[in-house]
Amino acid sequence: MTTPSLGKDLLGLEPLSREQIELILDTAEPFKEVSERAIKKVPALRGKTIVNLFFEASTRTRISFEFAEKRLSADTVNVVAQGSSVQKGENLVDTARNLEAMRIDMVVVRHPSSGAPKFLAERIRSNVINGGDGTHEHPTQALLDMLTIRDRCGVIEGLKVCICGDIAHSRVARSNIWGLTKLGAEVAVCGPQSLMPGSIEELGVTVFRRIEEAIEWANVLNVLRLQLERMKAGYIPSLREYYRVFGVTLERLERAPRDLVILHPGPMNRGVEIDSRVADGPHSVILHQVTNGVAVRMAVLYLLAGGRPELAESAKASERGGGA
């Protein structure tokens, strides 16, 4: 049996196989325990330099990556460039060349333009990890969602997962759809018509127009954050109206035929897409997602940093010569 490898970069879940996704989730398991130790650090990435290159605001994802990097003993630098002052294409090439000149090993990049991490990955030798690009993908978020679902439900195959909210603009939704369908889950989406992309059925998902139908159908709801600027842009009439029609409320969950697991990638708008009583209640695994985020990112960094999978097979063969 050959072990799947991830290759040089993690740009999204669309290009990954089921085996590669499962490799990441399985590798994340032992990393959970590292964060429970008194000394929360292992030397696996000692001497590696990692740049967190954020062209778009982020607190949670950046901090989670930074914890993951530090707990693997890597050296990290945060570069925060505000999107408005950046000439996208040209600036990214320049940034890439400068990073290469400083002999870095890995880059985590978040960028408002879909495809920016791929653009970067094709131009530098360092490993590139997509920390969220435009409306394209946010692979580590979907991986931590899947790890959390697997923790709670045991298996992903055969589960019914509904992603609720602004599907059209959501890279979290897109990565979740790719990942979950590859692992054999049934995936649905639910949200206002105005926030639903036109060709969504082509991704193999069911579309629910009413949140009640989604709740009746699903084992798991992944409730997306409603970007408040969507209201100004006229996609929804008002936040109150959104909560009334699409809010995941305790009353709605209590009418469900089975206990649901509720995920939310954060940060939450309490009383908009989710009821506070749900967010803080027994259905919610939202803080578990945050904990798992560090473990999943450690797994991705570890798997990419090794980088020479062609040697792994021969090494395993020679290791059979005797352990210690």
Partner 1 sequence: MSASSRTTLLDASGVRDALDRLSRRIVELAGGTDELVLVGIQRRGSDLAERIAGLIEAREGRPIPLGVMDITLYRDDLQTIGPRPVIGETRLPVELDHKWVMIVDDVLYTGRTVRAALDQLADFGRPARIGLTVLVDRGGRELPIQADLTGLSVDATPADRVEVLVSEVDGRDAVELVQGGTK
Q: Please identify, among the stretches 108-116, 127-135, 164-172, 306-314, the one whose residues bind partner 1 according to the rule CB under 8 A.
A: 306-314
Q: Is 3 in the site for partner 1 (CB under 8 A)?
A: yes
Q: Respond yes or no on whether the N-terminal peptide bond of residue 237 is cis (omega within 30° of 0).
A: no
Q: Which of residues 11-40 bind partner 1 (CB under 8 A)?
A: 23, 26-27, 29-31, 33-34, 37-39
Q: Which of 198, 257, 267, 321 binds partner 1 (CB under 8 A)?
A: 321
Amino acid identity of residue 75, one-letter, is D
- In the bound complex, what is the minimum distance in angstroms from residue 298's beta carbon to partner 1? 9
Could you give phi then psi for residue 317, rounded to 5 degrees?
A: -60, -45
CB 129 within 8 A of CB 108: yes
307 to each of 5, 27, 105, 185, 188, how far by Cα in Å?
8, 15, 11, 30, 35
Letter for the amino acid at 273? E
If the CB atoms of residues 16 and 23 are measured against partner 1, the closer one turns out to be 23
- Cα-based distances in Å from 249 to 52, 182, 206, 211, 215: 37, 30, 22, 10, 10
Q: Please pick, from the candidates 20, 45, 136, 166, the single residue that binds partner 1 as defined by CB under 8 A.
A: 45
Residues facing 133 on adjacent strands = 111, 137
Stretch binding partner 1 (CB under 8 A), from 129-137, 238-246, 285-293, 310-318? 310-318
Looking at 5, 20, 35, 206, which residue binds partner 1 (CB under 8 A)?
A: 5
Residue by residue, DSSP assigns 280-301 as TSTTB-HHHHHHHHHHHHHHHH
Establish if 101 lies at the interface with partner 1 (CB under 8 A).
Answer: no
Q: Which is nearer to partner 1, 3 or 276 (CB)?
A: 3
Told to check if 303 binds partner 1 by CB under 8 A, we report yes
41 binds partner 1 (CB under 8 A): yes
The nearest distance, CB 72 to partner 1, in angstroms, is 8
Tell me how far, at minimum, the Cβ of 14 lies from partner 1, in Å. 22
Contact 277, 248 (CB under 8 A): no
Question: Cα dihedral angle (214, 290, 284, 188), rounded to 10 degrees?
Answer: 10
Q: Is 190 in the site for partner 1 (CB under 8 A)?
A: no
- Degrees (nearest 5) of the Cα angle 189, 190, 195? 100
For partner 1, how many residues bind (rule: CB under 8 A)?
A: 36
42 part of the interface to partner 1, by CB under 8 A: yes
Q: Which is nearer to partner 1, 189 or 298 (CB)?
A: 298
Closest contact distance (angstroms) between CB of 31 and partner 1 is: 8
Q: Is 307 in the site for partner 1 (CB under 8 A)?
A: yes
**Beta carbon nearer to partner 1, 41 or 240:** 41
Least distance to partner 1, CB of residue 324, Å: 4
Beta strands in 150-257 (DSSP E): 160-164, 186-190, 206-208, 220-223
Strands, sheet with 261-263, edge to edge from the N-terminal-most edge strand: 206-208, 186-190, 160-164, 220-223, 261-263
Query: Where along the sequence are the contacts to partner 1 (CB under 8 A)?
Result: 3, 5, 23, 26-27, 29-31, 33-34, 37-39, 41-45, 72, 302-303, 305-312, 315, 317, 320-324
